[in-house]
Amino acid sequence: MLKHLYISNYALIDELDIDFPAGFSVITGETGAGKSIILGALGMILGNRADIKAIKPGAKKCVIEAVFDVTGYGLEPLFADGDVDFDASECIVRRELSATGKSRSFVNDTPVALQFLRQLGDHLVDIHSQHQNLLLQKEDFQLGVVDIIAHDEKQKADYASAYADYRKAVAALDDLKERIEKTRQNEEFVRFQFNELQSAQLADGMQEELEQESAALSHAEDIKTALFNANDILNADDAGVVGRVGEAADALHSIEGVYPKVKELAARLDTARIELADIAADVDNDSDNIEFDSARLFDVNAMLDKIYSLQQKHHVDNVAALIAIRDELGKQLESIDDSDTQLTDYQHRVDETAAAARRAATVLTGVRRKAAAKVEVAMKSRLVPLGMVNVRFKVDIQAKDLAADGADRVVFLFSANKSTELMPVAEVASGGEIARVMLSLKAMISGAVNLPTIIFDEIDTGVSGAIATKMALLMKEMADAGRQVVAITHLPQIAAMGEAHYKVEKEETDKGTISHMRRLDDKERLTAVAAMLSGDNITPAALENAKELLAARQ
């Protein structure tokens, strides 16, 4: 419930500091007096976009602050999620807008983001302005009304989960089809590249081995000459290193008996001779095995040229990378060859999730149809007293393709007369009839939704006389059911029904035009209602009529 509103330097308002009671209140004033300005300021508190043009000329900033009582509306989790202190009896919301365009928002003196302010605003106040009558043209609004009455949060959550799985499966199938299509378009080229790499018979370490073999074959004569010379030095009959080391060892062994010190040296020479003999044998073998093979050199260089060409073509510098490319191309070809099986599997997943979503949608539809019947009864019970004695109101639910909000298309059908065919309400209802339909919908919804405050901005457009009185009674009924209801009106029948009456006035001063609002006492209220009946020239008859209207409120 809105307890207090403070506005400073907003549009034509210098300063407004006013309390609001519970129950049904009315706000009146001449056209252009500033009623819409007050709603605009309140909208800022609820998270609407701020416009620096709204700051009163010459002021550095404007401030709007509202105090709400939200006892019993279950807002503790919202405050906990926003890390904001919670005080149910005094929730203070403040919005500041500077002339530089900077906007700041506070809840209970804690700075909050605009998104939090909007979330909180959705739980605090519902402002129904004339343009909201256009909502009757929107299917999602009509579906939302049915869902509110149905209390189908669980069924909607179950469906949303199933629908999300279905959309995920559809997206996966579409992605697979796209990838297969792209791959098939390049299949010939992919297959050529794969075969080219496959024919190279690539293996890890292959390039290094071939490069070493090519170098050896290219320098076969030099290698053979070096090995021959080394072998000759090691194994020459008279001066070979192996033989001379053996002779040295034998010489030392011959004096071991008389000179024991050389025994270790002789042993070391024996070891060296054995190692040199092994080396000489290996050199001799290698010398015999080295032959210049031009055919093999041609083959090795041809294989290396192919590897280098493939590396340049695929912009890599090693065989391992070529192998990775070959394997990836192979997978693409496997995917092409196995695409029909993959498509079947993915389509099966789509069919499964679609069936699950349809089952959840069927449950949701059943709950909505039961609620639709309640809506029809409730709307007729409210519209008949508002002067539509022959009204017919039907909630038409037709099937539609699976969508985020279910598989139901909801349209409100309406006829004010027995002989008139039922048609969508937005197409056949007059302005006054639409106003009464919207008021009845709001009254019905208010009983199902925990919303502290409802503000009607000239919802009485297009009605007058007894019907206006009936609309006022319906708003008072909503207030008596625990809602704070505020009606901005030009009709005396509605103005007289409020428990509190506020008047918005515009005044010309030395500093320019200002707008202010005040609560009227009983005497001022009588005069205000009489003026609404007869204009500026208040007649005794108008005063008497105003007294009767005010007395009827009791």
pLDDT of residue 530: 92
Report how far residue 454's alpha carbon sits from residue 488's, in angstroms, rounded to the nearest whole number: 11
Report which DSSP code applies to 351. H
Evaluate whether 40 touches 11 at the Cβ level (below 8 Å): yes
Q: Edge-to-edge strand order for the sheet containing 2-10?
A: 13-19, 2-10, 61-68, 91-98, 103-107, 110-111
User: What are 229's two structure tokens?
Assistant: 């010379």
Angle at 88 between CA 83 and CA 89, to 5 degrees: 140
Over the range 88-114, which residues count as b (16 or more CB within 10 Å of their CB) and which as e? eeebbbbbbbeeeeebebbbeeeebee
**In one letter, which amino acid is 36?**
S
Q: What is the 3-state secondary structure (H, E, C) of 16-55?
A: EEEECCCCEEEEECCCCCCHHHHHHHHHHHCCCCCCHHHE
What residues have CB less than 8 Å from 478, skipping those under 6 apart? 24, 442, 443, 446, 454, 485
CA dihedral (50, 54, 60, 66) positive or negative: negative
Burial of 446 (0-12, 13-18, 19+ CB in 10 A): buried
Burial of 541 (0-12, 13-18, 19+ CB in 10 A): exposed
What residues have CB less than 8 Å from 41, skipping those under 6 apart? 5, 7, 10, 11, 13, 54, 64
The number of CA neighbours under 13 Å toward the Cβ of 134 is 3
pLDDT of residue 64: 95
Report which DSSP code applies to 138. -
Interval 283-341: pLDDT, tens: 878 766 666 666 877 887 888 888 888 989 999 989 899 999 999 888 878 777 777 88
Angle at 104 between CA 99 and CA 107, to 5 degrees: 145
Total length of the chain: 554
Classify 391 as helix, strand or coil: coil
Q: Edge-to-edge strand order for the sheet containing 423-424?
A: 392-403, 406-415, 423-424
Report how far residue 45's alpha carbon sits from residue 91's, in angstroms, rounded to the nearest whole number: 12
Whose CA is closest to 1, among 89, 86, 75, 112? 89
pTM to 2 decimals? 0.67
pLDDT of residue 526: 93
Pairing of strands 110-111, 125-128: unpaired
pLDDT of residue 133: 56
Report how far residue 517's alpha carbon sits from residue 511's, in angstroms, rounded to the nearest whole number: 18
Evaluate whether 47 touches 95 at the Cβ level (below 8 Å): no
Radius of gyration over every alpha carbon of the chain, rounded to an integer in angstroms: 47
pLDDT of residue 32: 76
Q: What is the 3-state secondary structure (H, E, C) of 437-491?
A: HHHHHHHHHHCCCCCCEEEEECCCCCCCHHHHHHHHHHHHHHHHCCCEEEEECCC
pLDDT of residue 291: 66
pLDDT of residue 130: 62
- Identify the helix (H) or strand (E) that includes residue 206: helix 206-218
pLDDT of residue 292: 62
**How many CB atoms sit inside 10 A of residue 192's CB?**
11
Angle at 287 between CA 286 and CA 291, to 5 degrees: 95
Classify 401 as helix, strand or coil: strand
Evaluate whether 278 touches 250 at the Cβ level (below 8 Å): no
pLDDT of residue 180: 81
Classify 295 as helix, strand or coil: helix
Report how far residue 353's alpha carbon sits from residue 143's, in angstroms, rounded to the nearest whole number: 24
Which residue shows structure tokens 């039961």?
370
pLDDT of residue 238: 67
> Torsions phi, psi of 452, nearest 5?
-65, -40
Give the CA distances from residue 516 to residues 30, 176, 499, 504, in Å, rounded to whole numbers and listed in that order. Answer: 12, 65, 20, 6
Counting as low any pLDDT under 70, the low residues of the chain are: 130-137, 220-221, 237-238, 287-294
pLDDT of residue 348: 96
Evaluate whether 91 touches 66 at the Cβ level (below 8 Å): no
Identify the structural domains of the chain with CATH numbers, from first to last: 1-129+450-519 (3.40.50.300), 187-337 (no CATH)
Classify 399 as helix, strand or coil: strand
Sequence-separated contacts (24+) of 103-112 with Cβ below 8 Å: 103/50, 105/47, 107/79, 107/82, 108/84, 109/85, 110/83, 110/84, 110/85, 112/82, 112/84
Centroid of chain to Cα 100: 31
What residues have CB less than 8 Å from 485, skipping those under 6 apart? 23, 24, 25, 453, 454, 455, 456, 475, 476, 478, 479
